[in-house]
């Protein structure tokens, strides 16, 4: 055996060892060594991702989620009764369906005996849903999990002011005419000013766009670099769309819309000259974040099936990938709000015994072009890696030729809680089409948090 290994590359030896050590989850949190179960991503689907206010505008979010659940069952040909548990992510929640996982499951015809819960972790909510399912499987609590996420920005909850809400609550308890008149006397016209949800940090009050602008400035990311990256995202997404690579996308016939929605509608290939004409969107007039180099408000839903390799075989399913490892990170939500990948990627690879060169496909969430470039520059900075990662030198950046090769959130769209499944599915399908073995998924999230996940191509995987 050792004689034959002498002719194998170092990378080949490492992967040979990984095949033996990545057998299933161990009991240690976040480690995936020397285990008994192989957890697999069987398959996943998503609705077309649409700009908010377009063809999904009259729906409710649970209807989008219902579409993804039913689409997953049809694609996998799985009986509803085989699903043990459903976990869904949602960020800006419809108050009528706060546990949207349960409401969508019931609307999709799942048994009322199938438990379901909703998680929220900003842009990494469906990553959290997937890893929650992995935990259920690792502990032997459940075998077959559906995880996903939905976001509906066409209709967000808008509240009365707190003073008005307080007055209305008191009015509902007022019993006499005198009490009612007393409360009416307290009313002021400015009580009617509405409270709109904002993509802003509660702890700092700063919008994510302002944070992105400051991050870009801190890492000397130029407007030109951001526009060029945005152009790359749209061009690659358009190419992948035309080649039929988005096999996770399931067309949706929406009632009241005269055509079947079959494509993401935010992909627009422009020119450098056109992008250069746009004005700053947040820090005016000198900011570098614009409408073109930032992800847009998006409606969409996604769902995926995870189980053990043994269970998948029993059910006659062909998995896409092994879910090998994951980690969550968090840091300063003011100055380092969007640096989740720069923290998460080194931590994940170190824990997995891997280096950057071992990764064949990268799928990293594109909140802003400036955020992507800043994360890359952070990993390429000796000072930053020494100061914040405790390394002796720079960690190094992912190979751009393996990075988001089908576009990303800047072009495809970013329904907050649904993006994590899309990232995992593109990673798994790219491994097949690009003949790779290992993929890393990573994303930043509000609150200064982030995720990194390791996927390995399954021998039975196809890109269909």
Who's near 269: CB < 8 A, 6+ residues apart?
A: 231, 234, 235, 238
Give bridge partners of residue 322 from the DSSP assignment: 40, 456
454 strand-pairing partners: 325, 440
Position 29 scores a pLDDT of 40
Selected catalytic residue, list 24, 385, 424, 444: 444
The whole-number pLDDT of residue 80 equals: 97
Active-site residue, 17 included: no
What gap in Å lies between CA 428 and CA 417, rounded to an integer? 19
- Helix or strand run (H / E) with residue 51: strand 50-51
Q: 244-256: string of b/e by CB count within 10 Å (b at 16+)? A: ebbbbbbebebee
Diameter of the chain by CA atoms?
Answer: 96
**What would the two tokens of residue 168 be?**
């209305």
Write down the pLDDT at residue 40: 98
- What was the pLDDT predicted at 343? 98
Q: Which of 56, 58, 112, 59 is nearest to 83 (CA)?
A: 112
Mean pLDDT of the chain: 92
Q: Rounded CA gap, 71 and 77, in Å?
A: 10
Q: Please determine, for residue 255, whether its predicted confidence score (pLDDT) is greater than 90.
A: yes
Could you tell me the pLDDT band of residue 9, with boundaries at 50, 70 and 90?
A: very low
Peptide bond before residue 285 is cis, with ω within 30 degrees of 0: yes
Q: Is residue 400 predicted with pLDDT exceeding 90?
A: yes
Cα separation of 326 and 29, whole Å? 10
Cα separation of 425 and 321, whole Å? 9
Quick check: 10 pLDDT over 80? no
- Condensed to tens digits (0 to 9), the pLDDT of residues 341-397 reads 999 999 999 999 999 999 999 999 999 999 999 999 999 999 999 999 999 999 999
Among 28-32, 95-99, 313-317, 433-437, the range scoring the smallest mean pLDDT is: 28-32
Q: Please compute the mean of the pLDDT values over residues 396-407 and round it to a whole number.
A: 98
CB 258 within 8 A of CB 266: no
Active-site option among 24, 123, 304, 385: 123
When pLDDT is averaged across residues 38-51 and rounded to a whole number, the result is: 98
302-337 burial, b if ≥16 CB within 10 A, otherwise e?
A: bbbbbbbbebbeebebbbbbbbbbbbbbebebeebb
Q: Is the pLDDT of residue 254 over 90?
A: yes
Q: Which residue has the tokens 């008994």?
A: 36
pLDDT of residue 14: 46
Contacts of 246 (CB under 8 A, 6+ apart): 240, 264, 406
Residue 1: per-residue pLDDT: 35
Q: Are 426 and 304 in contact, with CB atoms under 8 Å apart?
A: no
CA distance 288 to 370: 8
Positive or negative: CA dihedral 350, 353, 354, 355:
positive
For residue 146, give the DSSP letter: E
CB atoms closer than 10 angstroms to residue 200: 15
Say which range, 19-33, 209-223, 313-327, has the weakest mean pLDDT: 19-33
**Confidence band, pLDDT 50/70/90 cuts, at residue 204:** confident
At 27 the pLDDT is 34
| pLDDT classification of 195: cutoffs 50, 70, 90 | confident
- 444 is annotated as an active-site residue: yes
Kindly tell me if the per-residue pLDDT of 77 is higher than 80.
yes
pTM for the whole structure: 0.90
Distance CA 260, CA 40 (A): 32
What is the model's pLDDT at position 36? 60
Sign (positive/negative) of CA torsion 17, 20, 21, 25? positive
Count of alpha carbons within 13 angstroms of residue 129, beta-carbon side: 39
Tell me if 410 sits within 8 A of 230, measured CB to CB.
Answer: yes
Backbone φ and ψ of 403, nearest 5°:
-110, 115
CA dihedral over 367, 371, 376, 378, signed as positive or negative: negative
pLDDT tens profile 143-154: 999 999 999 999
CA distance to 24, 162, 339, per residue, from 325 (Å)? 10, 44, 20
Q: State the average pLDDT over residues 87-101.
A: 96
Torsion sign over Cα 122, 252, 60, 82: negative
User: What would the pLDDT profile of 118-147 be if each residue is shown by its tens digit?
Assistant: 999 999 999 999 999 999 999 999 999 999
| Residue partners of 426: CB distance under 8 A and separation at least 6 | 248, 363, 406
Q: Does the pLDDT of residue 25 top 90, yes or no? A: no
């Amino acid at each position: 055996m050792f004689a034959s290994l002498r002719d194998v590359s170092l990378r080949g030896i490492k992967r040979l060892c990984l095949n033996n050590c990545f057998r299933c989850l161990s009991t240690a949190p976040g480690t995936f060594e020397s285990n008994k179960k192989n957890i697999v991503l069987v398959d996943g689907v998503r609705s077309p991702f649409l700009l908010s206010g377009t063809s999904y505008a009259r729906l409710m979010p649970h209807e989008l989620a219902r579409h993804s659940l039913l689409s997953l069952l049809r694609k996998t040909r799985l009986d509803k009764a085989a699903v043990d548990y459903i976990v869904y992510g949602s960020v800006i929640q419809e108050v009528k369906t706060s546990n949207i996982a349960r409401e969508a499951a019931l609307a999709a015809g799942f048994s009322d005996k199938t438990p379901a819960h909703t998680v929220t972790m900003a842009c990494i909510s469906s990553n959290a849903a997937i890893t929650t399912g992995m935990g259920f499987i690792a502990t032997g609590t459940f075998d077959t999990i559906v995880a996903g996420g939905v976001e509906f920005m066409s209709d967000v909850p808008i509240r009365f002011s707190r003073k008005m809400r307080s007055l209305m609550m008191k009015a509902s308890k007022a019993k006499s005419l005198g009490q009612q008149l007393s409360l009416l006397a307290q009313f002021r016209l400015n009580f009617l000013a509405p409270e709109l949800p904002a993509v802003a940090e509660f702890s700092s009050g700063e919008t994510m766009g302002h944070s992105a602008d400051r991050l870009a400035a801190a890492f000397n990311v130029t407007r030109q670099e951001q526009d060029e990256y945005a152009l790359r995202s749209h061009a690659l997404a358009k190419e992948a769309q035309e080649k039929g690579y988005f096999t996770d996308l399931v067309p949706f016939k929406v009632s009241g819309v005269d055509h079947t929605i079959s494509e993401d509608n935010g992909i627009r290939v422009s020119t450098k000259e056109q992008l250069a004409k746009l004005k700053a969107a947040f820090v005016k007039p000198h900011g570098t974040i614009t409408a073109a180099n930032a992800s847009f408000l998006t409606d969409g839903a996604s769902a995926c099936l995870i189980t053990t390799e043994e269970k998948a075989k029993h059910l006659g399913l062909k998995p896409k990938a092994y879910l090998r490892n994951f980690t969550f990170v968090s840091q300063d939500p003011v100055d380092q709000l969007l640096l989740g990948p720069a923290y998460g990627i080194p931590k994940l690879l170190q824990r997995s015994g891997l280096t950057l060169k071992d990764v064949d496909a990268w799928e990293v969430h594109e909140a802003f072009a400036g955020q992507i470039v800043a994360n890359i520059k952070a990993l390429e900075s000796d000072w930053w890696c020494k100061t914040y990662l405790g390394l002796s030198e720079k960690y190094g950046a992912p190979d751009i030729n393996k990075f988001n090769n089908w576009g990303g959130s800047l072009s495809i769209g970013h329904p907050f809680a649904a993006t994590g499944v899309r990232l995992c599915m593109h990673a798994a399908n790219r491994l097949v089409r690009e003949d790779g073995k290992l993929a890393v998924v990573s994303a930043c999230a509000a609150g200064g948090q982030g995720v990194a996940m390791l996927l390995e191509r399954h021998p039975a995987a196809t890109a269909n």
